Amino acid sequence: MLHHLQSLLGSLDLAFLYDALSRTLAVLLCLTVHETCHGLAALALGDPTAKSMHRLSLNPLRHIDWLGLAMMLAAGFGWAKPVPVDPRYFRKPKQGMAVTALAGPVSNLLLALLALLAGRLIYEYAPYGPGWNAAFEFFLYSLAPLSIGLGLFNLLPIPPLDGAKVAGVLLPDRTYFRFMRYERYGMLALLALSYFGLTSQLIGNAILWVYMTMFYLFF
């Protein structure tokens, strides 16, 4: 029995397992920060809905949609459970929704910047080696592009993504509310774009540009 167990463990690709675990943890962190910051922005603008439903939490289980998580890992884009927002609490509902929506992508870009900064500090002051510092540095440099990707993807002006609410500020009220009625069809459009590789190519190029810009500007 022990011999068979040792053979099984020996046949496992530990690098692949670590990469899969690191990517999963990074995705969970990106989605959790994104949704929590939506709720914090809404609270700052006067809407206590997310707080009353315990969504101002860094516990990923409060935010994760398991199908969205699977899509994020498999296809490169996904979603979490949307944070509940009641625009009636906002003095200017359309503008309040735009600020609340923008908080998610901005938080992802800031998270990526912090990950790169932490990775650089580890590189400078904890020399690379086979220990935990190397594993954590690898995690951070994996986290940064994933967080950038989630932020940029959500800025696409397609309902129900955050970018649609941000772009909606520029629309007349009647057009805005008519536009938002088609949220349910927006996900089908995103799936179609992903199937044909249009979003992956666009977002992939944008991720690389933002990543390299952050790296050269700040490091």
Residues serving a catalytic function are 35
Tell me how far apart the alpha carbons of residues 107 and 23 are, in angstroms, rounded to a whole number: 19
Which residue, chain included where needed, has tokens 């629309």?
Answer: 171
Tell me how far apart the alpha carbons of residues 128 and 45 are, in angstroms, rounded to a whole number: 44
Tell me how far apart the alpha carbons of residues 87 and 93 are, in angstroms, rounded to a whole number: 5
Tell me how far apart the alpha carbons of residues 56 and 108 are, in angstroms, rounded to a whole number: 16
Q: Is 79 left (phi over 0), alpha (psi -120 to 50) or beta?
A: beta
32: its two tokens: 């959790």
DSSP label of 88: G
Tell me how far apart the alpha carbons of residues 203 and 75 are, in angstroms, rounded to a whole number: 12
Quick check: 116 and 218 in contact, CB under 8 A?
A: yes
145, 193, 211, 214 from 148: Cα distances, Å: 5, 19, 7, 10
Q: Is 78 left (phi over 0), alpha (psi -120 to 50) or beta?
A: beta
